[in-house]
Amino acid sequence: MRKIALWALAGMLVSVWVFPVLWGLLTSFKTERDVLAYPPVILFEPTLANYREVLFGTSSILPNLISSIVVSSASTLLTMLIAVPAAYAIARLRYPGKKTSGFYVLATQMLPPVGLIIPYYLVLQKVGLLDSYSGLTTIYLTFSLPFAVWLMVSYFEDIPYEMEEAALLDRAGRLRTLWYVILPQVRGGMAVTTVFVFLNAWNEFLFAVVLGGNRVRPVTVAMFNFISVEQTQWARLAAGAMLAMAPVILIGLAAQRHIVKGLTVGAVKGGGRR
């Protein structure tokens, strides 16, 4: 009975996420008439017209998907290149102002994003980076980097110091120790951080709608075009949402093993602090 109750509870929790996704998937195959029918139509003749229109029609989001892939991939790559050595330094090294630098990284997470829109806009306008891949990537880097650093710090702190000291005693050097000893131990944490950073950049809307434009318009902004004062094109909006979810789902499935390992690493062994 206890196992059945746990499975029932788990099913209820999962359904909270699954039901909206399944409903959106069904909506993407409906016509607008079926979408607006009341009571809701469960049995209907599916159509691919919404996907054809969203991909190849006048309201195609294919260029916007490419923009999202470019901006999200670039910001994720730059974030990880900076966050990994920064988190390693905060977690493992002793240097003057260590606590101050750690608090500064944490404090940047406390700033409300809406309060930074106008300063970001004025700065990018001054340097001519409005509506550009480099400008939007830089802005995404500013809010994803503190999150990635603090997430990676917890994984670095779980590595026993004895492994690092043994490598240093063998004259491996700090960089060789980081590359050959430390990083293989935190691959799960790096996978988790990479997925979360990419997901945050992919789903971001506020900065994209203000700092983007005609040349750089991520998919989250493009889907907003299906909503107007006169009507909301629910079927096409659902089809666009399914297409926007696909890359993130594929990345999650590909890195599933590392994600599970990274999320549980702190629960199966003690921390390495001293």
The pLDDT of residue 271 is above 70: no
Is-contact 118 194, C-beta < 8 A? no
Tell whether 53 is covered by a domain.
no
pTM of full prediction above 0.85: no
Residues in CB range of 196: below 8 A, 6 or more apart:
147, 148, 151
Mean pLDDT across 173-195: 83
What per-residue confidence (pLDDT) applies to 261?
63
Q: Which residues pair with 227 in a beta bridge?
A: 232
pLDDT at residue 69, rounded to an integer: 92
Q: Pick the residue with more confidence: 264 or 129?
A: 129
CATH number of 233's domain: 1.10.3720.10
Confirm whether 54 is domain-assigned.
no
| Residue 274 CB partners (closer than 8 Å, separation 6+) | 161
Taking the C-alpha atoms of residue 157 and residue 29, their distance in angstroms, rounded to an integer, is 48
Residues near 64 by beta carbon (within 8 Å), at least 6 away in sequence: 217, 218, 219, 221, 222
- 69-78, 139-148, 174-183, 258-267: least confidently modelled range: 258-267
Whether pLDDT at 260 is above 80: no
pLDDT interval class at 263 (50, 70, 90) = low
The whole-angstrom separation of Cα 120 and Cα 211 is 8
* 145 in a structural domain: yes
Tell me the average pLDDT across 268-273. 45
pLDDT digits (tens, 9 = 90+) for 230-249: 788 889 999 999 998 888 88
Q: Are residues 79 and 213 in the same domain?
A: yes
| pLDDT surpasses 60 at 221 | yes
User: Which pLDDT score, from 0 to 100, does residue 134 have?
Assistant: 92
Per-residue pLDDT tens digits for 181-191: 888 888 888 88
Q: Is the pLDDT assigned to residue 215 strictly greater than 70?
A: yes
Determine the pLDDT at residue 75: 94
What pLDDT, on the 0 to 100 scale, is given for residue 68? Answer: 92
- Same-domain check for residues 31 and 143: no
Look at the block and give the residue holding tokens 């492994």. Answer: 163
Residue 149 and residue 99 share a domain: yes
User: Are 39 and 65 found together in one domain?
Assistant: no
For the four alpha carbons of 50, 136, 263 and 3, in that order, the dihedral sign comes to: negative
| pLDDT of 272 strictly over 50 | no
**40 lies in the same domain as 130:** no
Q: How many domains does the chain have?
A: 2
Inter-residue contact 89 to 99 (CB < 8 Å): no
pLDDT over 90 percentage in the chain: 24
8 plus 76 within the same structural domain: no
Q: Residue 27: which domain range?
A: 1-47
Exposed, middle or buried: residue 246 (CB in 10 Å: 0-12, 13-18, 19+)?
exposed
Q: Residue 22: left if φ>0, alpha if ψ -120 to 50, beta else—which one? A: alpha
pLDDT for the residue numbered 201: 92
Find the mean pLDDT for residues 131-156: 89
DSSP bridge partners of 232: 227
Q: Which residues pair with 34 in a beta bridge?
A: none
pLDDT tens-digit series, residues 96-110: 777 777 777 777 777
Nearest to 268 by CA among 133, 155, 191: 155
Question: What is the separation, in whole angstroms, between the first and last Cα of the chain?
Answer: 44
Return the H-helix or E-strand segment holding 18: helix 2-28
Q: Is the pLDDT of residue 78 over 50?
A: yes
